[in-house]
Amino acid sequence: MMKPHFVNQSASVFIPFLALPLALSSGMVQAKERNPFQIAISAETFAAGALGGEDEMLVGTEFKYFFLSTNPFYPFLVAGYKTDIDKEGSAVDIVYADVGSQWDFAEFWGNRAFLEASIGAAYINEEIAVSLLDREANNSYSDFDFKASLGLGVEWQKAFGTTLVVNQYGSDDLTAGLSFSYSF
């Protein structure tokens, strides 16, 4: 008499999800010497928060310094400035400094894919102007708060990079955007 052959149907769906990390780790990038400096420009849109009420878009620049560049997790320091592009009614300026790490998880055609995460502090200044019948009322708010960032990116030809970023400013404001960088 034959034994019944039990096949778990959910296992056949689960196997590709196990194979994906193995495939990515097989092309994992070894720690290599890299350019220690990076300058980037970015554009972000507010996804949530009080600042996103009138200020829909931020543009800015940042400077990154990578240290311990032979480590597979590249620690870095970053400083940057962002401002809104729509100056009607209110203006937002953000100055920040973070510490973080970048991890190379794959390499394809000589280009490397990476994940990065950082945490730090931000100084946020918001100026609001309201037009009244007889005058204009101006208010200014400024605050120090924490900042956190997550990114998924690709470095092309060891100098140029593109990163999808999500930034959290304080406990309320969340932005998502795109960053273009040059390493030297």
Per-position b or e across 17-50, b if 16+ CB within 10 A of its CB = eeeeeeeeeeeeeeeeebeeebebebbbebeebe
Can you list the residues of the chain whose pLDDT is less than 50? 1-20, 22-29
pLDDT value of residue 51: 66
Radius of gyration of the chain (CA): 22
pLDDT value of residue 91: 83
pLDDT value of residue 11: 39
pLDDT value of residue 52: 59
pTM for this prediction: 0.74
pLDDT value of residue 157: 84
